[in-house]
Amino acid sequence: MGTTGNKVLAGSFLSIAALVVAGIAAYFCFATLLEAFERLDAQRKTLGDLSNAFAILQETEAGQRGYLLTGKSADLAPYESGRVRLSSALQDLRKDNRLTELEGDIDALKKLTEERMSDLEAGVQIAKEKGREAAVQLVATDVGKKLMDEIRAKVAGIERRQMQELDRAAKLARAQTTMVKRIILAGMGLAAIISLATAVAAANRSRPG
């Protein structure tokens, strides 16, 4: 094989090498990008479950108050339904959470919520056994309000931190997306330049002197 052939072969090898290197670099950047998207998905799922559980708790609390105001058994339906739905929502929150740093907060929130539900149930039982006035006196102790204030503070803290994390994860995902594009374009551009330079060199060599 002549000198020209060797140069063409070398140029082809360098072009392929440039594409391979760019592909490997893009792969690692893409893996980081995938992790960022997975974390974004996990954070959105956790925030959604958290918001759902807190909304159901508020509905359950409102259902209990409705029953205490009327004393009618039919008005217990929203409260009873809320208890079942809340238990399921808390299980979903614990099960679906993939963020290990939130496990302690979620366990603490679950404990506070269970305490609030016990307080609500105590009010219902007192209303059934001793009448609405006795139940209203229990509500007036502000024990339930203090628990709800703690729950709101815990939920707000989790949401605030996760929104900050969402913002960071979104920025990382955008940065990695840009990096992948640049690496691929750079690899293709370098391969094209090498191929063109090899072709020009080969053409010049093949011209008669």
So what's the pLDDT on residue 1? 46
Lowest mean per-residue pLDDT among 36-50, 56-70, 179-193 = 179-193
Predicted local confidence at residue 57, as pLDDT? 93
What is the average per-residue pLDDT within 45-52? 89
* Separation CA 92–CA 21 (nearest Å): 44
Name the pLDDT band for 59 (thresholds 50, 70, 90).
very high
Residue extents of the structural domains in the chain: 3-206
43-47, 142-146, 147-151, 167-171: which range is least confident on average? 167-171
More confident residue, 176 or 131: 131
Confidence of residue 60 (pLDDT cuts 50, 70, 90): very high
Distance of CA 123 to the CA centre of its chain: 37
- Contact yes or no for 31/40 (Cβ under 8 A): no
Segment 172-185, tens digit of pLDDT: 777 767 777 777 77
> How many C-beta atoms lie closer than 10 Å to residue 80's C-beta?
14
H or E element that contains 97: none
Report in angstroms the alpha-carbon separations of 14 from 1, 40, 195, 200.
18, 39, 8, 15
Among the ranges 97-101, 160-164, 202-206, which has the highest mean pLDDT value? 160-164
